[in-house]
Structure 1
């Protein structure tokens, strides 16, 4: 009985919330993407000879995709997106879910989790081969590289018009890309910075 009552209360609250909010807005987005991948080692000798500096990837490219802006309450929105990003020999599909809060009339800040799915990691694979040669743990690079990562992102945006906005976001990986035999001394994590425009229909 208590579970049924709790469900009814939650359902009524959700219906009131949905009826009070505006309809979701759909849009497209795109712009400049900069990706950075750091190879960090816990081996002091390798750090001394500069492996961290040797194995560092920084690439610039573009991103494009679609988004949905959902107004939950006044000033607070949820914005899920599906993006494709490419930067030289790295490419990813990103699935961010950003919470947006309008701190001023047209200016908002945003933060939230993001999944990234790699479709091309050739630059990282080459760097892993070079790093594993120094570590003496050569293996099949396709077996030691995780293709899915979990990120956290934050940024800001400005609504130029009712349909056009500019936004910038920085995200960094919480998970380690590397799962090979050198896992005790080698971590591979990426980050991304994007700045672009969003057009709402």
Structure 2
């Protein structure tokens, strides 16, 4: 729990040093969580996520978007805190990449805290509505002998 608090404080400190503010968004969608257990293969579960984000304009082109998302699948409920850098390819399309903190909310003895690296893309339908998809693979977890990767696809609404 200490690691999650320290990481959250670090992320919030970093994001509040960015220059201009763009605004809040609400997000929801589906996710596929894959559990890879050493020696036992992998299993995937389909679920959903919902949450919100706040977008900051870093330099006129790149945006930084920290989010807080709750993911619910059959055997795993988790809190995800992705901090994505978004770079526009066109007025409508963007690519995104960045770290994602995850914290398992289930009753687990070990491995509650994890750190992922995520990448994906987004499409702005209009000034408010957007869709995005992202894949995040685990790079650090307290849990021995396996890892958790996520694929998310969803829709969001930007509040002006």
The two structures have a TM-score, normalised by structure 1, of 0.67
- Which has the greater radius of gyration? 1
Q: Does 1:196 align with 2:134?
A: no
1:145-173 Cα shifts (integer Å, max 9, x gaps): 21000110000000000001000000011
1:165-190 Cα shifts (integer Å, max 9, x gaps): 000000011114424xxxxxxx2111
Which of 8, 29, 33 is matched with 1:31 structurally?
29
Distance in 2 (CA, whole Å) between partners of 1:150 and 1:176 is: 6
Q: Is the contact between residue 95 and residue 114 of structure 1 (CA under 8 Å) also seen in structure 2?
A: yes
- Please tell me the root mean square deviation across aligned C-alpha atoms, in Å: 1.7
In the TM superposition, 1:1-201 aligns within 5 A as 18=19, 21=20, 23-40=21-38, 51-53=39-41, 56-120=42-106, 142-143=108-109, 145-179=110-144, 187-201=145-159
* Greater than 3 Å deviation, 4+ residue runs: none
Q: Is the contact between residue 31 and residue 152 of structure 2 (CA under 8 Å) also seen in structure 1?
A: yes
- Please, which runs of 5 or more residues in structure 1 have no aligned partner? 1-14, 41-50, 122-141, 180-186
Q: Which has the higher helix share?
A: 1
The two structures have a TM-score, normalised by structure 2, of 0.83
Q: Is the contact between residue 75 and residue 103 of structure 1 (CA under 8 Å) also seen in structure 2?
A: no
Q: Is the contact between residue 115 and residue 139 of structure 2 (CA under 8 Å) also seen in structure 1?
A: yes
- Please, which runs of 5 or more residues in structure 2 have no aligned partner? 1-16
Distance in 1 (CA, whole Å) between partners of 2:142 and 2:90 is: 38
